[in-house]
Structure 1
Amino acid sequence: MSSGPAGQKARSSVQPLTRARPGVRRRATLRTQDGIAIDAAYDPGPGSPAGHGDVAIVLAHGFTGDLARPHVRRIAGVFAQRAAVITFSFRGHGASGGHSTVGDREVLDLAAAVEWARSLGHAHVVTVGFSMGGSVVLRHAASHRGRTEARTDAVVAVSAPARWFYRGTAPMRRLHWVVTRPTGRVVGRFGLRTRIHPHEWDPVPLSPVESVPLIGATPLLVVHGTRDPYFPVDHPRALVAAAPEGAELWLEEGMGHAEHAASDGLAGRIAAWATASWTSATAD
């Protein structure tokens, strides 16, 4: 689905805008390094506790989601009680341009959103991804280390796969049909409102479990439900086993998959972890 791996040399950009007033959500169009227009929104987090104003959470949604979907807005709303929040629609989703590459070049979309967070003055940026977005935040953390504008300071992967091409569950077999078959892509476009790139990956991007060892000292939290119908618990366990020392695993009893299954309570705990990662970083 790509003419090459997601590179690190070119710069992404954002349309100029003024810093948002407290309580006012702003929209912007971001431009990725490969020229895709990405629809994004910024919530300054009016309920942020004192001392956490420098923290921004960048929320990376799952496949077929977008920033306007109710389940994404619900999670963002909980995050905004503790920190500023940037939501965006991956390429091929919502009002963003391009076609979905199902986790490959989406790394560039996330990089543009992180750069926007930093341009708004946030010193500490935490990326939180769900399902496909979970794979993207892991790959982004590995590939953008050392890039001041696009780096992440902490990363949370929720309901993420560990490896590509997994077909061990019925939902994943259906998803592969949607992505790989012409008829499936028609269903994706008109039924799921997701425009999917028609070509296979070339080359195959580094998988999440191959990416995790490369994130170095970046704080990592892996969250997964024990009743996830897409990816069984060997996926999160493999991710944490491959990670540098200090990675955390939260296995949520009875939880299903991604944003739809994440309770407000869980979202609040994730936001608390994100802001605590800033406190730890400043203490160091």
Structure 2
Amino acid sequence: MSFRGVVGTALSLLTFAVVAWLLLVGLLMLQERRLIFFPTTVLTALPADFGLHAQELSITAADGVRLHGWWIQGPGDRVLIWYHGNAGNIGHRLDNARWFVDQLGVDVVLVDYRGYGRSEGAPDEEGIYRDGLAIYDAVVARSVRAEDIVLFGRSLGGAVAIEVALHRPVGAIVLESPFRSVPALAREHYWFVPSFLVRTRMDNESKIGSVDVPTLVLHGDRDRVVPVAHGRRLFELAARSAQFHLIEGAGHNDTYLVGGRPYRDAWTAFLRRTASAVG
């Protein structure tokens, strides 16, 4: 083959690769929300199925979207507002909720974001922030003191918890398996997509330094969805009184099952310390 032929073949291959990349990136951009949010609408379980005593909640967000959830009763005074991850719905979190009630003695407020479970609407970044604030406001409306509220954000829920903590007073915040930002996480799984093309930000990395409340970061050392380096980085950037607990052997979704006594002790010590700080 002549030199001109080699060059022509190389240019053809390069053109094909560029076109294929543009098509793939374009498809991912069109499907961005579907790659981030994985809601299911059918509740496969209710609190009573796990022996939990709960009151059904109906909460209206600032833009009129109605949210559904439960206030699960515990024996203590602290209230854990749980902002869950990106998949399923609150029905899938009830076994874990029972763990919180039995092991930590807290009330658990568990409400689905828009588009999840029985909640109306469809999820996006700004929408779930509005949901998070509405859930908090509904708790405070029941005469719960701000200092008795612990925000708990797991995975995607960490972004919601951080956003709420920036706009509302709370006693403490716990982040489990959190990511630095959506673009940073996208680089872990879709390295070929430029960060500036990712529209959903959830930029926890730039926000957490302004969250001036005691903070606990929990992360599994075998997390393949959100690598532990993300949690460590947020811990390093936290404003004050931050703690980090590495959950040995845990992945992304089995933290409370794998963590054992060290995991429980990290929770109880943090709740005890923050109760002393506000009591």
TM normalised by structure 1 equals 0.69
1:150-169 matches, within 5 Å, as: 151-165=169-183, 166-169=185-188
Residue 37 (structure 1) aligns with: 66
Residue 96 (structure 2) aligns with: 75
Distance in 1 separating the partners of 2:265 and 2:131: 26
The match for 1:99 among 122, 136, 142 is: 122
Distance in 2 separating the partners of 1:40 and 1:227: 31
The match for 1:262 among 252, 256, 260 is: 256
Answer 1 or 2: which has greater helix percent: 2
Residue 160 (structure 2) aligns with: 136
Whether 1:282 aligns to 2:265 is no
CA RMSD, aligned part only? 2.6
Residue 4 (structure 1) aligns with: none
Whether 1:225 aligns to 2:229 is no
Whether 1:58 aligns to 2:76 is no
Q: Is the 8 A contact 1:38 1:88 kept in 2?
A: yes
Q: AA paired with 1:66?
A: N
Secondary structure of residue in 2 paired with 1:99: coil
Shift of the 219–91 alpha-carbon distance from structure 1 to 2, 3 Å rule, reads: same
Distance in 2 separating the partners of 1:205 and 1:33: 21
1:239 positional shift: 0.4
Identity across matched positions, percent: 24
Residue 151 (structure 2) aligns with: 127
1:168 positional shift: 4.2
TM normalised by structure 2 equals 0.70
Whether 1:87 aligns to 2:110 is yes
Shift of the 78–270 alpha-carbon distance from structure 1 to 2, 3 Å rule, reads: farther
Q: AA paired with 2:64?
A: G
Could you say which structure has the larger radius of gyration?
2
Distance in 1 separating the partners of 2:156 and 2:177: 8
Secondary structure of residue in 2 paired with 1:80: helix
1:270 positional shift: 5.9
Question: Of the two structures, which has the highest relative contact order with CA contacts closer than 8 Å and spacing of 6 or more?
Answer: 1
Shift of the 277–27 alpha-carbon distance from structure 1 to 2, 3 Å rule, reads: farther
The match for 1:208 among 183, 204, 211 is: 204
Q: Is the 8 A contact 2:159 2:202 kept in 1?
A: no
Structure 1 residues 134-192: Cα deviation after superposition (integer angstroms, max 9, x where no partner): 222122212x14xxxxx3321111111112222344xx44xx9xxxxxxxxxxxxxxxx
1:237 positional shift: 1.5
Distance in 2 separating the partners of 1:235 and 1:109: 24
User: Number of paired residues?
Assistant: 217
Secondary structure of residue in 2 paired with 1:113: helix
Shift of the 278–104 alpha-carbon distance from structure 1 to 2, 3 Å rule, reads: same
Whether 1:118 aligns to 2:137 is no
Distance in 1 separating the partners of 2:68 and 2:155: 20
